[in-house]
Structure 1
């Protein structure tokens, strides 16, 4: 029987830590996912307005397949600078890629990144000559641990999910044969995460142990294909995005990780409506820590982990929004 991990966080995956940092004045933040050693990684981008860094390395056939961290940030394009701070912290700790070790030549940390747009969601954005994001990235890296806050925290600190507060969410699942899959999402979507006229989340069929409130749609609920519920009414280009990371301890090749990422995209559509719009920058990374060997029936196992990734990501999205709005109601 599958069940959430001990923390119900992406850090239930062995070898994964998460750090976060926020700037309350700017109303923004950064989340960093840090494997304890270079991890196989892949990415899939589905939104029409993405903002990313180092994702070309993850397309296959490149020199480097392992990454030292994944950085998720608010701040739109300014937030890509958060990866600079993460890279600085990794360099100080002696981490990074070197083709040939040479004295006096530092290794290069590999830090793919994605951003969401929170520039119009409040806060003082008059930060002068230098944005705060490199500093936030370093602070988030230094904060990395096994526990972290959900809701208004990290990359989702200044986020909006449709007309509701957005946030950072996470969830995990463990199988009876020892595979763990975790998801983390920064939710700043154009679409609604709740069913129209109800307190139920679109992701309710995947909820485990009442992790995002346990609300269910009424028995007589009728789906209207044109009723999006609490979506943003007049979106502008580039002002929405859900960015996410999946981690698993199953040993995956980069091509297998890419397939898991493609399957994980359906987690977005299970939790948000509409999704992958022209003004969304939706993206999902996948990390494999390689702690569990891939069995011989690898195609079936990849399909199985991809489905677990999708349902766990849907839970993480709903959980992040639920936690953010619980805080707002207090």
Structure 2
């Protein structure tokens, strides 16, 4: 398709949408609203579990769908730590998941997937080509980790890092309503020079599609505009979900990062997240949603995707709402754009809700001068 044809088609999309029955609703569905919980679990078919160890200052968060679901991943940071992300690559056999894990602990935190896989396998959940007596299924549990090893907690665990046991605790106590801030994978996290944390948000479109985000914010970059208390994501805030300050009108110098971390070290910073939708998207479509959602981090954190971050976004679908085939690309564009905005809000909520663990030095957003 040449450029002229592309522009003609793009310009015609709104017109075409108004001429094709249900597609008209897809393009112009009317006003949407924040979900009832303003959490990723507003997406039907999902539960979340979280656990932490206060002495170690670390934690684990598990996203548990009711059943296996299509999934994808997009990695943008220069120092990622992941498990089973290759499973989700196009062309591979299995592009669906039984659970997704976000964990503290750097490379040690990858062991959290072992606990979740064991829990699922004991319940007969997982991938299998053909069922055979005595042969357990293989649970698919993609995992991403963040670096919280230098936060002052006790890391002298020898041969027994706590992440497998924390994951078992988290997956065994999943719920739709969970806590934000200093919980789960966000327990020991830092967002620039502020305390980071676990954030979540949701949005329901006018035609009933729900998009949710869950994020553990441990970024090199700052989430607030330099010299203010306003979040970079302030223009997207709904109500007073992260302080009610809205957008800042302050001009910012291009190379002034404000409350970003100083002297960053490789793998010491990461923002890891999961996007969930109830629309029936396949793995390739979810890959595009995950890619578009990365822009939500760029709207909420400055700088982001640096060589020192390990930013990873998963995307999954619980497939509760079918989509018409004629306008699926437009639906993917809508959902991806919403995913970016919802993720930006979740980042700000995670830092807004964060508190300092017992004995931990530092500064929270709520400690900033009024």
TM over 0.5, yes or no?
yes
Q: Which residue of 2 aligns with 1:24?
A: 54
TM-score (norm 1): 0.98
How far 1:218 moved relative to its partner? 5.2
Q: Is the 8 A contact 1:242 1:280 kept in 2?
A: yes
Distance 2:327 2:320 in 1: 17
Larger radius of gyration: 2
Q: Does 1:179 align with 2:205?
A: no
How far 1:216 moved relative to its partner? 3.8
How far 1:72 moved relative to its partner? 0.3
More displaced 10-residue stretch of structure 1: 156-165 or 122-131: 122-131
Q: Alignment partner of 1:281: what SS?
A: coil
More displaced 10-residue stretch of structure 1: 184-193 or 223-232: 223-232
Q: Does 1:134 align with 2:157?
A: no
Cα pair distance change 1:111/1:128, threshold 3 Å: same
In structure 1, stretches of 5+ residues that fail to align are none
After TM superposition, list the pairs within 5 Å mapping 1:78-227 onto structure 2: 78-216=108-246, 219=249, 221-227=250-256
Q: Does 1:323 align with 2:360?
A: no
Distance 1:7 1:113 in 2: 25
- Runs of 4+ off more than 3 Å: 216-219, 325-330
Distance 1:193 1:106 in 2: 44
Distance 2:49 2:107 in 1: 21
Q: Is the 8 A contact 2:103 2:110 kept in 1?
A: yes
Q: 1:85-137 CA deviation, whole Å, 9 max, x = no partner?
A: 01111112210111010000000110000000000112000012111101011
Distance 1:217 1:112 in 2: 35
Q: Which residue of 2 aligns with 1:281?
A: 310
In structure 2, stretches of 5+ residues that fail to align are 1-30, 358-363
Cα pair distance change 1:101/1:316, threshold 3 Å: same
Cα pair distance change 1:266/1:217, threshold 3 Å: closer
Q: Is the 8 A contact 2:98 2:140 kept in 1?
A: yes
Instruction: Count matched residues.
Output: 329
Distance 1:308 1:117 in 2: 28
Q: Alignment partner of 1:324: what SS?
A: coil
Distance 2:258 2:355 in 1: 16
